[in-house]
Structure 1
Amino acid sequence: MSIKITDKINKLEKDEPFFSLEFFPPKTENGLRNLYARLGRMSLLGPSFVTVTWGAGGTTAEKTLDLAITCQKELGLTTCLHLTCTNTSKEVIDDALKTAKANGIKNILALRGDPQRDSSESHGVGVFKYAVDLVKYIRSELTLFG
């Protein structure tokens, strides 16, 4: 079952502490195996939610989605998917949103993001120049993601 992070936080008693964990997909296969081997143990710590980062320009899109799906579906953790729009095509954004929805991920952190280090592209390339443009798009496509 997926729940909005804000709903979880709003149900807490006043001043009740909570914590989250943030994961990023490692660049190497060895690092990725290492992270997956530890995810189950980290989930036992009982975080209120986890977030999964999105690489510059969508460079880690597939690994990010796989990691977010594992956290949400296999570990039952409320998961927040970071989604950046700098140098990311509308098609990549649409695929990420559809994949998230299909896997019960309701929490998206929309960010502008940074270009890839080796990229000569500026922040404004693509359909979405700023995070607010991405937020407006997601809201306009609620049937896609809602």
Structure 2
Amino acid sequence: MTPTLAQMNEAARAVSTPLFADVPGDIAVSFEFFPPKTEAMEATLWQSVEALRPLDPRFVSVTYGAGGSTRERTHNTVARIVRETGIPAAAHLTCVDASRGEIDEVARAYWDAGVRHIVALRGDPPRAGEKFVAHPDGYASAADLVAGLKRVADFELSVGAYPEPHPDATSETADIDHLARKLDAGAQRGITQFFFEPDTFFRFRDAAAARGITAELVPGILPVSNFAQLKKMAAGCNTAVPAWMGRLFEGLDDKPAARQLVAATVAAELCRRLYAGGVRHFHFYTLNRAELAYAICHMLGVRPAATAQELAA
């Protein structure tokens, strides 16, 4: 995609001034959470939701375990967000180990609870190392799931997108073709797997545009607070971890405050360079902690509504 004059001017400003000087905050943000397993984890989750709520997120999403293992907890968490906060909430839903009838029933329950947005995913096999096998009476792919959900109700639908091809994809071209099928089936946007180099996203965006994809592609941002955990997560989803990141986090295992500062800096710089390339919506994988996502949003100029009005006065 050829950069516009505005994007070129923005890129020049990003490298000629302090990186976060007067970023106008003209972006949308969304946040992903996972359903809590314990009372302590539930308290942390709701503290995070309340901390991020003033940033007026476009939506928040709640993940869904392999094989529907968190089905009830996901439903309860999403329904509570809708009921108590007024934040638009999206429920993740997968194809794994469930018939079409079961999935459709879950979707209808979400609609009845006031949930109008679903993140439709094929899902990972419930046992690590196995290949995905569709349920005999289930949806065979995320594209099939999108089409099925559209038959249940007029949901807003987001789907997964992969700047570095999905581990099961036979090629980058095949992966983008599959994304196109999901969007053609009725999804409104793709939310990407996390990545760590701006050019990774820009190359993917250009390839998608060349394929004729015009839907919104939202970069998924993972602020890294635990580098060892990150390497395990990245290995499972075909995400490259740059060597320089390992060197940055080296020696910080027993220094959590310093790790937080490094993590926020790395992720904020990635977002700033994506912003210079025209990105205006960021989806943050929070791991149920608000601090890093809040700090990054602040550096990008996103403020609570009252604060933004005071700054403009």
Report the TM range for the smaller structure's normalisation: 0.7 to 0.9
Normalising by the residue count of structure 1, what TM-score does the alignment of the two structures yield? 0.75
Deviation per CA, 1:91-113: give whole Å up to 9, x if none.
43123212211122111111100
Tell whether the 8 Å contact from 1:20 to 1:48 is kept in structure 2 after alignment: yes
Of 34, 44, 53, the match for 2:63: 53
Structure 2 Cα separation of the partners of residues 67 and 82 of structure 1: 11
Unmatched tracts of structure 1, length 5 or more:
1-14
Q: Tell me, what secondary structure is at the counterpart of 2:28?
A: coil
Give identity over the alignment, percent: 35
Aligned pair count reads: 131
The alpha-carbon distance between structure 1 residues 36 and 119, as it changes in their structure 2 partners (threshold 3 A), is farther
Structure-2 residue corresponding to 1:130: 141
Greater shift, 80-89 or 105-114, is seen at 80-89
Tell whether the 8 Å contact from 2:62 to 2:74 is kept in structure 1 after alignment: yes
The alpha-carbon distance between structure 1 residues 62 and 119, as it changes in their structure 2 partners (threshold 3 A), is farther
**Where do 1:1-146 residues align within 5 Å?**
16-117=26-127, 122-126=132-136, 127-142=138-153
Give the superposition deviation at 1:50: 0.6
Unmatched tracts of structure 2, length 5 or more:
1-24, 157-313
Which of the two has higher C-alpha Rg? 2
Q: Tell me, what secondary structure is at the counterpart of 2:148?
A: helix
Structure 1 Cα separation of the partners of residues 46 and 101 of structure 2: 28
Q: CA RMSD in A?
A: 2.6
The alpha-carbon distance between structure 1 residues 132 and 77, as it changes in their structure 2 partners (threshold 3 A), is same
Tell whether the 8 Å contact from 2:95 to 2:134 is kept in structure 1 after alignment: no
Give the superposition deviation at 1:34: 2.5
Q: Tell me, what secondary structure is at the counterpart of 1:44?
A: helix
Give the superposition deviation at 1:75: 0.5
Tell whether the 8 Å contact from 2:104 to 2:152 is kept in structure 1 after alignment: no
